[in-house]
Each structure stands twice: as C-alpha cells, then as structure tokens.
C-alpha cells in the first residue's frame, strides 16, 4: 500500500474530525421509539481518540440544543468515559477492542451512578440497553471503518457483511428521526437504496435492502407496520424487473408500496412513508445510481482475493528475476573490466626479455620507450611488420611470441564477442520474461462483472452458441468490454453474436475484431460510444514481378485499442517481404497476448538478431489508437514519416531511430497525440522522396475519401521527381469518428 503524502494525511485527518462531529450530532439527536440510546458512545469507542473528542463535542452540542443535557447524565458520562478510555488505549483499535471499550464505558458509568444512588427507573433501563447495544455497535462501526481505510471503492467481504448491515440499519433509523415538514430524509434514502440494490443485484439485493429498511422503520417507531411489511415485497418486485428500464422498477415498487399504504387504511403515517419512498425513487431516476454504487462499494469475494494474490505473486516473481539479472550483469561487467585491464605486451616482455642477458642494458636507459614500443607492437595486426628495437638479441623469438600472442588474443576476442553476444541475448530474454510476468499479473488482477458475465453465459446457452469461456468487464471510466473465446473450428457470426450479447447484458455492443491462438479464437466486443476507427491502405512494389518488401496490418488488443502497423524489410523483393512479415505477425501475436508494444518489439528484435548469420533487419512503425479517448501513441523503429491531419492543419512526425534486428537493444521514438473527430492519420514506409512532401501534405490537407487518398499518395510517393520507381511504398491511413 502506498504511503499517503503529508498533505493528504492532513486532509484525511480534518475530514475525519468534521465527519465525526457531524455523526455525533446526528446520533445524539436520534430516538428509538421515544428512547435515547448511547449511539455516540459506540461511535466514540470505535474511532481514533482525536475523532472521539469531535464526537463528544458534537454530541454535547446536540444535547444542549435539545435540552436533555441535564436529563441524561448517564449517557453523557458513558460518552466521556469512552473518549478517555480511547486516549488510554491508543490510536490503534480493533473491532474487539472497540467493543471492549464501549462495554467498559457503559459498565463504569452505571457503577458510578449506582454507587452515588442516582439511578432511577429510567436510568436503569438506559444502562441495560447500553450494555446490550454499545459493545455490538462499537464492534460493527470499527469493522466498517476498517473497510473504508482500504480506499475507494470500499471492498466488503463476507466477514464484513453483517457489521455493514447493522450499521446501515442503525444509520437509516437515526436519519429517519430527522424530519423537515413532510420530508423524512431516512425514508427517502430507503427508497433510493432499495431501487439501486434492485437494479444492481436483482431480487436478492432489493429484498435484502428492503428488509434492512423495515428494521430501521421499526426502530424509528413507525405506526405503519403493514406498510413496512410490504417493503421486502416491493424490493422483490423491483428486482424482478432489474433488466428493464429504471422507470418500470420505479412503477413496480410504488405499486406495491401503495398497496401497503392501502392495507394500513391510508393513515397519515402510511401516506407520509409512501410519499417519501416515492421521492427516493425519483432521486433514483435522476441520478446514475448504479454507477455511484460501483464507485463507492464493491463486493470482495474469494475469486477477487485470489486474483489479487496472483497479481502479487506474478510481480514478486518479476522482481526476483530482475534481481537475478542485475546480479549477473554486474558480475559480467566486473569480469570484462578485469580482462581489459591486463596489458598483453607485459607477458611477452616477461617471457622473452626476462631470459635475455642484455635485459639490464636495454631496459635501464630507455625502459619507458621500449615499453611504449612493445605496446604498439601488441596493437598491430597479424599481417603488419613489427618494429623490433635495434640491437635486440632475440628478435626472432620476440616476433614469434608476438605472433603467437596476437593469434591467441584474436581467438580470445572472438570467444569474448560470442560470449558477450550470448550474455546480451540472455539478459534481453530475461527482461522480456520480466515484462511478461508483470503484464500477466496485471491481467490476472483485472476485475470482471460476475453478474453481467452470468447474464452473458446464460444468453449464450439459451441461443445454443458454442464457447469455451466468456467474460464481461466494466473498466472504470471506460466502455463495457466483452471477451468471447470459442474453438477454432467454430466460427460464430460476429453480428449475430453482438445481437446476442446486447440482449444478454442489456447494453449495445459493437464487434472489434477476432484473434487466433492455438486451437482457440477470441472475439472482442465493446459498448457503444467512444470513437470508431476506419482504416484504408495502399501498397506498390518497386518491381512489378517481385513481391512488395513492406507489410502492414490492423488489429485490436484485449483492451479494444486499434493498432496500425507497417514494417519495411531491408531492400526489396521476397527476402525483404519475409523479414517484414516476420516482424508484423510476431508483433500482432505478442500484443494480442497482453504484452505492451515496447516489450513486444524487444522480443522481436532478439528473434531478428538470431534469425540467420546474414544482416537482416526491418523497420517497425506502430500507431496505437485508444477508442475511448482518441489518444494516439506512436512507436517508431527506423520507420518512415507519419502525417497527422488535425482539423485543417497537417503535421509530420519523424525521428531517426534504428530498425529492428541491428542492435541488441531496440529503443523507439515514442510520442502521444490527442486526436478528435474527423482527424486523419497516415503511416508511410520509408520509400517517400523528400521532394514529394509538399504534394503529399497538400493532398492530405484536402481530405476526402480515405481509400482514394491512400491510393493517390502511394502512387505519387512511389516515384521520384523524374517518375522512376525508387522503392517499395506502403500507405496506411486511419480516420477518427464517433462510434
């Protein structure tokens, strides 16, 4: 978990104090069937000591306004004792500790007043109710607070379900005691929550939330028992229509509630409850209730916990592999530096001159000059003559030793170069594996909608569509995404399948593309909205009797982004076509498997380096278009220019980088562009002559049909200023529009 900044910590602290004071005011003003319960004591026992003081201040303020500051000394004493005990126990408090603090405060307060002989009949009843409710509520409030500290949305597990339900019931009952003319805010909240739960969790959610609302109404002292008893039936009726429009849910719930008011004899209490439930329903119709619910709360089951654990494990493995790679690189660099530190001429000097009787004569007067000459002789090639010092008695042995040393060093350098290449290849593969593990961990932690996935699988089985697996996800701030996996030999019609998915999840979807891997295929569908990308391409070869050395492709990844890719092989003809096709096909498979663009390019670079002994390379030009925001990310590896028509303005994006398959490390030029509706993007291979840029820019600026534009640019770009074909040319274009 990331540590909050000091500014955020200060903001959270101030917010907690204000919220605690407001909650203390609200809970102190609540009455349950005419009885004041020490709810503020339970809250003070569950929060931090500082927030407990805020609860005390808010409660005393409310007691002073309502005139019961003197009439309820037992409750006030409980509250003060709870705050003092929280200061004694410290800032950390578990749910059990909160329950113990609240129960101890209630017991001490009762003991103090009993010893003073100040307990009347009403005070005895208050102490009994406090002994029963304060520990339980303190435990539940502490458990709910612990859930909220994990961040938003608040993840509720099975263990936290009961404490959350109890807190929600008490909160609704407390708010129901607040009334402004005919408006009962707690009942309005009940109507809103019942419809929201019915829409999100169907009949189960509506019935459960309505049952909690019944408990809250009974606690608040309602006289319309028949009306309250009809609320679960109203939640069930609304949940049965969860797949329909919100207006139908509203009508169904109000109809059942109207029947409940009629059974109560249309009393003033029943009519007031029905009107306030109706107002809550109108609030449900006006607000994006389900989206608000998903933003604030989520259900954390065993599957999501397992996915989180898998993500952490994958990241742990990736970091462990990174540590191993860095240690291996450090050792290799140390050994390489140690080898380069040795002077090869020193060994020749020791073996030849060390046994010569004229050593003292040669090295005493001009030792530094001879050392320099020895180093120069060690650096000359095998075929170059050696400059032996004049008067050397062992010139022949010196020549043989230098020759032998050079041959040995040449072989050693060759072996060292091969070892270095193998090391670089190994380290590159380890980096790619690290990236694969990290990306796999991110994918495994992806949250899917269980409810929508169940609707989808039920619809597929209803229509008899064969499938391996299917899932629906709703990324925050993005459109709905549907992944459909089917056997390779079974090819469902995408349009028919889109209609089936739309009917199952009650959300219009569009077909994005099909991916193939092994014996399975994956079809992607996205919710309507966002941006649509239409593409067109034109291509021509420098020789009509040979294939074009360029390759291009368009596809979508598992997030619904659209990719435009061009690769230009070295030279022209079939060999260049093979190289570019290898780059394109491998890049598509790796990206669609979940790898990002740069990691996929690094792996392809390693493949191209080991493909053959000949020097073979290819460029790679990638444009990734996000269909949610129309943001375009360009990745260029020795690629040609990219033209962007943004409104009436045409700009060129180009950078000098190395192609794929030349260096061990493939480093791209990347940039991010924000396009809008009507903008165009043109990717060109490097066969474009500089003299043709004005024509191409003018033609692109004029706009028009995308296919016509690509053919016009390709036909003009393939020839030089004299009309002679100069290179293979590929033009791949995209147009951005609303979906």
- Any idea which of 177-181, 456-460, 674-678, 682-686 has the lowest mean pLDDT? 177-181
Residue 623 pLDDT: 95
pLDDT number for residue 621: 94
For residue 537, name the pLDDT band (cuts at 50, 70, 90): very high
CA 673 to chain centre: 21
* 3-state secondary structure (DSSP) of residue 481: strand
The share of the chain scoring above pLDDT 70, in percent, equals: 73
Q: pLDDT tens for residues 278-309? A: 999 899 989 888 888 877 777 665 455 545 55
Given CATH 3.30.1070, say whether it is the number of domain 450-527. no
Whether the per-residue pLDDT at 622 is higher than 90: the answer is: yes
Higher pLDDT, 531 or 148: 531
Taking only the tens place, the pLDDT of each residue in 197-256 is 888 888 888 888 888 888 888 777 667 777 888 888 888 888 888 878 888 889 999 898
pLDDT tens digits for 427-441? 666 666 666 666 666
Give the mean model confidence (pLDDT) for residues 1-23.
74
**CA atoms within 13 A of residue 468's CA, in its CB half-sphere:** 14
* Bridge partner list, 442: none
Alpha-carbon distance of 497 to 525, in angstroms, equals 9
Answer whether residue 144 shows pLDDT above 60. yes
Choose from 93-107, 148-162, 334-348 the range with maximum mean pLDDT: 93-107
Residue 603, pLDDT above cutoff 60:
yes
Q: How many C-beta atoms surround the C-beta of residue 76 within 10 A?
A: 22
Whether the Cβ atoms of residue 75 and residue 94 lie closer than 8 Å to each other: no
* Nearest CA-CA partner of 74 in 25, 26, 33, 35: 35
Does 552 have pLDDT greater than 90? yes
| Fold observed for domain 531-573+616-738 | Phosphatase 2c; domain 1 (3.60.40)
pLDDT at 732: 92
| 466 contacts 490 by C-beta, under 8 angstroms | yes
What's the CA angle centered on 679, arms 676 and 680, to 5 degrees? 140
Q: Could you tell me what percentage of the chain is helix, strand and coil, using 3-state DSSP and rounding each to the nearest 5?
A: 60, 15, 25
Distance CA 669, CA 636 (A): 5
pLDDT at 565: 95
Out of 79-93, 392-406, 632-646, pick the least confident: 392-406
Residue 419: CB atoms within 10 Å: 13
**Do 450-527 and 531-573+616-738 have matching folds?**
no
* CA 358/CA 393 separation, integer angstroms: 8
Give backbone dihedrals phi and psi of 601, rounded to 5 degrees, phi first.
-65, -35
* Domain boundary assignment for the chain: 1-149, 450-527, 531-573+616-738
Strands (E), 137-178: 154-156
Residue 19 has pLDDT above 80, yes or no: yes
Least confidently predicted of 42-46, 48-52, 398-402: 398-402
pTM: 0.55
């Amino acid at each position: 978990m990331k540590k909050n900044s000091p500014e955020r910590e200060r903001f959270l602290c101030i917010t907690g104090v204000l919220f605690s004071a407001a909650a203390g005011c609200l809970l102190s003003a609540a009455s349950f069937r005419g009885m004041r319960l020490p709810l503020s004591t339970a809250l003070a026992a569950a929060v931090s000591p500082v927030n407990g003081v805020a609860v005390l201040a808010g409660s005393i303020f409310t007691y002073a306004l309502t005139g019961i500051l003197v009439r309820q000394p037992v409750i006030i004493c409980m509250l003060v004792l709870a705050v003092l005990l929280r200061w004694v126990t410290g800032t950390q408090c578990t749910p059990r500790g909160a329950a113990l603090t609240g129960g101890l405060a209630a017991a001490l307060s009762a003991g103090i007043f009993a010893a003073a002989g100040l307990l009347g009949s009403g005070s005895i009843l208050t102490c009994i109710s406090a002994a029963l409710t304060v520990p339980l509520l303190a435990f539940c409030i502490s458990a709910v607070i612990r859930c909220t500290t994990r961040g938003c949305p608040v993840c509720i597990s099975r263990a936290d379900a009961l404490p959350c339900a109890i807190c929600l019931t008490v909160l609704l009952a407390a708010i129901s005691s607040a009334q402004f003319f005919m408006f009962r805010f707690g009942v309005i909240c009940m109507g809103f929550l019942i419809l929201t739960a019915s829409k999100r969790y169907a009949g189960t959610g509506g019935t459960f939330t309505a049952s909690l609302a019944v408990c809250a109404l009974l606690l608040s002292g309602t006289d319309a028992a028949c009306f309250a008893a009809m609320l679960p039936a109203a939640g069930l009726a609304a949940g049965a229509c969860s797949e329909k429009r919100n207006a139908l849910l509203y009508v169904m719930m109000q109809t059942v509630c109207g029947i409940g008011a009629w059974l109560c004899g249309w009393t003033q209490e029943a009519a007031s409850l029905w009107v306030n439930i109706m107002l809550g329903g109108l609030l449900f119709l006006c607000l994006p209730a389900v989206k608000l619910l998903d933003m604030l709360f989520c259900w954390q089951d065993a599957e999501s916990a397992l996915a989180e654990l898998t993500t952490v494990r994958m990241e742990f493995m990736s970091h462990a592999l990174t540590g191993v790679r860095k240690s291996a690189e450090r050792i290799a660099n140390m050994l390489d530096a140690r080898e380069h530190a040795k002077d090869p001429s020193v060994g020749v000097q020791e073996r030849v001159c060390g046994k010569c009787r004229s050593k003292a004569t040669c090295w005493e007067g001009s030792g530094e000059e001879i050392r320099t000459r020895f180093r120069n002789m060690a650096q000359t090639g095998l075929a170059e003559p050696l400059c032996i010092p004049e008067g050397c008695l062992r010139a022949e042995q010196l020549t043989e030793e230098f020759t032998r040393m050079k041959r040995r060093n040449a072989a050693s350098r060759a072996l060292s170069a091969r070892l270095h290449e193998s090391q670089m290849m190994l380290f590159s593969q380890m980096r790619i594996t690290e990236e694969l593990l990290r990306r796999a961990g991110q994918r495994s932690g992806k949250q899917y909608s269980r409810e929508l996935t169940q609707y989808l699988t039920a619809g597929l089985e209803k229509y008899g569509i064969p499938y391996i697996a299917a899932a629906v996800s709703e990324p925050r701030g993005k459109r709905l995404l549907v992944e459909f996996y089917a056997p390779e030999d079974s090819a469902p019609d995408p349009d028919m399948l889109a209609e089936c998915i739309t009917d199952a999840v009650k959300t219009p979807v569009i077909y994005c593309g099909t991916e193939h891997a092994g014996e399975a295929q994956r079809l992607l569908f996205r919710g309507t909205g966002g941006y649509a990308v239409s593409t067109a391409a034109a291509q021509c070869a420098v020789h009509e009797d040979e294939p074009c050395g360029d390759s291009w492709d368009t596809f979508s990844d598992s997030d619904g982004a659209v990719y435009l890719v061009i690769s230009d092989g070295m030279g022209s003809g079939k060999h260049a076509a093979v190289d570019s096709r290898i780059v394109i096909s491998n890049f598509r498979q790796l990206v669609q498997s979940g790898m990002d663009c740069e990691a996929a390019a690094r792996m392809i670079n390693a493949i191209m380096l080991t493909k053959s002994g000949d020097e073979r390379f290819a460029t790679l030009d990638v444009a990734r278009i996000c269909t949610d925001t129309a943001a375009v990310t360009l990745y260029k590896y020795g690629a040609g220019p990219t033209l962007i028509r943004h409104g009436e303005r045409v700009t060129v994006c180009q950078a000098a980088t190395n192609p794929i398959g030349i260096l061990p490390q493939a480093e791209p030029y990347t940039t991010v562009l924000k396009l809008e509706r009507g903008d165009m993007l043109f990717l060109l291979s490097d066969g474009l002559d500089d003299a043709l840029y004005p024509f191409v820019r003018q033609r692109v600026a004029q706009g028009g049909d995308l296919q016509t534009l690509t053919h016009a640019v390709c036909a003009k770009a393939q020839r030089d200023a004299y009309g002679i074909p100069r290179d293979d040319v590929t033009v791949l274009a995209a147009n951005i529009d609303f979906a």
